Amino acid sequence: MLSASMNEKLNAQITREFYSSYLYRQMASCLDQMGLSVLEQFFLDQADEERMHAVKLIDYVQKAGGKLALGAIEAPPAEYESVLAICEATLAHERQVTKHIHALVAQAEEDKDYSTRSYLQWYIDEQVEEEASFADLVQLAKLAGSDLLALEDRVEKILAKRAPALGEGAQLGG
Ligand SMILES: [Fe+2]
Ligand SMILES: [Fe+2]
């Protein structure tokens, strides 16, 4: 059973996950306008993941007997000076999200709500991955400087590594 404040905080987190998805969609479009189609794909994938984070939490709130109340999603910034500015904004955003996840864990511990505490472990681990992946992206963008084709090339390799199962599946099926 969720406490009222745990329920409220989980609802707020669901809205934040949707905001993350919204933000990365917007960024994907900005990258498309910069002619960076590989980075656009990276951000589109990221936006899908964030939506999945929201949906998983909705399932949990429902299973745990809570009440879902979706909040308003604010508009993300639509103008960025450069690809580096976008990457840096994502890293700053993910660090904020990590703080919010940690606050959820603190609430679960205060409530002695061990089910929610256990459920949130997945999000803690996921945030470690997310921060690492965006920190890598910032690093790559800095190293590439104005050589955006080199950056696209590096990101393409990251995307290719992420989908080995897809390739294997296609081979087995074919
Ligand atoms: Fe997320
Ligand atoms: Fe994220």
pLDDT in tens, 17-68: 999 999 999 999 999 999 999 999 999 999 999 999 999 999 999 999 999 9
Give this prediction's pTM.
Answer: 0.91
Residue 27 forms part of a structural domain? yes
What CATH number is associated with residue 128? 1.20.1260.10
- Tell me, yes or no, whether 172 lies in a domain: no
Residue 158 within any structural domain of the chain: yes
Any domain includes 71:
yes
DSSP labels, 9-52? HHHHHHHHHHHHHHHHHHHHHHHHHTT-HHHHHHHHHHHHHHHH
Instruction: Please report which ligand is nearest the Cα atom of 17.
Output: 1
**Euclidean distance between CA atoms 75 and 62, whole angstroms:** 27
Q: Give the per-residue pLDDT at 163.
A: 75
**Cα(151) to centroid(ligand 1), Å:** 24
- Residue 33: domain span: 4-163
Expressed in angstroms and rounded, the spacing between residue 27 Cα and the centre of ligand 1 is: 15
Closest ligand to the CA of 90: 2
pLDDT in tens, the chain (174 residues): 899 999 999 999 999 999 999 999 999 999 999 999 999 999 999 999 999 999 999 999 999 999 999 999 999 999 999 999 999 999 999 999 999 999 999 999 999 999 999 999 999 999 999 999 999 999 999 999 999 999 999 999 999 988 765 545 444 433
d(CA 4, CA 100): 17
Task: Report yes or no on 32 lying in a domain.
Answer: yes
Report which bound ligand comes closest to the CA of 134.
2
Ligand 2: centre distance to CA 46 (Å): 7
Domain count, the chain: 1
Q: Ligand 2: distance of its center to the CA of 79 in Å?
A: 20
Q: Look-up: residue for tokens 């990457």?
A: 87
Residue 168 domain flag? no
Structural domain contains residue 152: yes
Q: What is the pLDDT of residue 174?
A: 36
Alpha-carbon torsion angle 4, 67, 47, 88, nearest 10: -10
Flag whether 34 is in a domain. yes
pLDDT at 165: 56
